[in-house]
């Protein structure tokens, strides 16, 4: 089949999974890291840094943009991407809420 049964899961689960997808590929991690460091990113700069084709990088940027993590503005002939603060803070909060739900059982488990 290959199709995710989205209707089986809660909105929260689907949303977290969507955000998680942003962090599930090393190229996207690398793009995000680049953005965190330089506070901007331009497709052509990433070609050298990532060693991927321009079309591939453009596709990853589009995905991150669709998820909402990044946003971009036209800057002459190039695009200037940056992290979307609202989305970033929201996902940080959501994942931390998940992370903090774990309490170390110290021995009553596997």
Partner DNA sequence: CTCATTCATCATAATATTGCGATGTAACAA
Partner DNA sequence: TTGTTACATCGCAATATTATGATGAATGAG
Write out the DSSP string of the chain: -----GGGS-HHHHHHHHHHHHTSSHHHHHHHHHHHHHS-B-HHHHHHHH---HHHHHHHHHHHHHHTSEEEEEETTEEEEEE-HHHHHHHHHHHHHHHTT----TTS--
* Minimum distance, C-beta of residue 91 to DNA, in the bound complex (Å): 17
Residue in 89, 46, 87 with CA at minimum distance from that of residue 64:
87
**Can you give 77-89 as a three-state secondary structure string?**
CEEEEEECHHHHH
Residues that bind a second copy (CB under 8 A): 4-6, 8-10, 13-14, 16-17, 19-30, 32-33, 36-37, 39-40, 50-52, 71-73, 80-83, 85, 88-89, 91-92, 95-96, 98-99, 101-102, 104-105, 108-110
Among 16, 21, 71, 87, binds DNA (CB under 7 A): 21
Sites for DNA among residues 35-94 (CB under 7 A): 42-45, 52-56, 58-63, 72, 74, 76-79
Residue 110 binds DNA (CB under 7 A) = no
Residue 34 binds DNA (CB under 7 A) = no
* Minimum distance, C-beta of residue 25 to DNA, in the bound complex (Å): 4
Q: Which spans of this chain sit near DNA (rule: CB under 7 A)?
A: 1-5, 21, 24-25, 27, 42-45, 52-56, 58-63, 72, 74, 76-79
């Amino acid at each position: 089949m290959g199709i995710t049964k989205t209707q089986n899961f809660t909105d929260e689960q689907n949303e977290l999974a969507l955000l998680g997808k942003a962090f599930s590929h090393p190229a996207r991690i690398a793009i995000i890291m680049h953005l965190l460091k330089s506070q901007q990113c331009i497709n052509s700069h990433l070609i050298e840094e990532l060693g991927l084709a321009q079309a591939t990088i453009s596709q990853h940027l589009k995905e991150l943009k669709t998820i909402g993590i990044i946003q971009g503005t036209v800057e002459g002939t190039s695009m200037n991407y940056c992290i979307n603060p609202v989305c970033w803070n929201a996902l940080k909060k959501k994942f931390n809420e998940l992370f903090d739900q774990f309490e170390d059982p110290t021995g009553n488990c596997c």
